[in-house]
Amino acid sequence: MSVFEQKGSEAVSNRAMPGMTHNTLPLLHEVRHALERLLRTGESTIIDLRAIPFGPGDEERLLSLLGEGEVAATLDALGRTTVRESRFSGVWIVDHYNSEAERIAFQLEVIEIPALLRAQTEDMYQSLGALDSVLNAEMHGPE
């Protein structure tokens, strides 16, 4: 069967001409350079995937090449954010959604741990106050 006899233009364009469209492999090269830089200098990189001209199937291909690693986390702040480690340690897929489940940002982070997963200093100060109130209430009972 010739490639043109297959059903659906996406299937044809993706399989028939590997490397003809697709920004997946150049992007993967960029990730590799970023990982090397992280190891050599400690400098992290964030790639905004929404700024990359993806064709049909590119995103799926990239995600399948990146695979799944050991860590996955979900953040609930102004909508859901998923942070997944790829099968390449140090390469993270960070996907931000708003409260309507619409994607608002989509990034690859090449870093030891994405900043959003760290506890934030301001939040920790607030927690200190909150813990004090809990301890106060527990020790002295409600007023």
Partner 1 sequence: MAENNTLGDSLRRHGVSRRGFLKFCTATASLMALPPSMVPAIAAALEKARRPSVIWLSFQECTGCTESLTRSHSPSVESLIFDHISLDYHHTLQAAAGEAAEAAREAAMHENKGNYILVVDGSIPLGNPGYSTIAGISNLQMLEETAKDAAAIVAVGTCAAFGGLPQANPNPTGAVSVSDIIKNKPIINVSGCPPIPTVITGVLAHFLTFGTIPELDQYNRPKVFYGQSIHDRCYRRPFYDKGLFAETFDDEGAKAGWCLYKLGCKGPMTYNACATTKWNQGTSWPVESGHGCLGCSEPRFWDAGGFYNALSVPISDNSQTVAFAAAAGLVLGAAAAGLNYKTKDEAQKAHANVTVDDLEKTS
Q: Which residues are at the interface with partner 1 (CB under 8 A)?
A: 3-4, 9-10, 12-13, 16-17, 19-23, 46-48, 50-56, 58, 75, 77-79, 81, 96, 98-100, 102-105, 107, 115-116, 120-123
Tell the smallest beta-carbon distance from residue 32 to partner 1 (Å): 18
* Cα gap 54→24, rounded to integer Å: 8
Tell the smallest beta-carbon distance from residue 64 to partner 1 (Å): 18
Tell the smallest beta-carbon distance from residue 79 to partner 1 (Å): 5
Tell the smallest beta-carbon distance from residue 112 to partner 1 (Å): 16
Q: Which residues pair with 48 in a beta bridge?
A: 107
Nearer to partner 1, 21 or 88 (CB): 21
Q: Name the strand (E) or helix (H) holding 4.
A: none
Nearer to partner 1, 24 or 140 (CB): 24
Report CA-CA distances (Å) from 105 to 53, 101, 117: 15, 12, 16
* Cα gap 107→96, rounded to integer Å: 8
Nearer to partner 1, 101 or 139 (CB): 101
Closest of 137, 20, 33 to residue 90, by C-alpha: 33
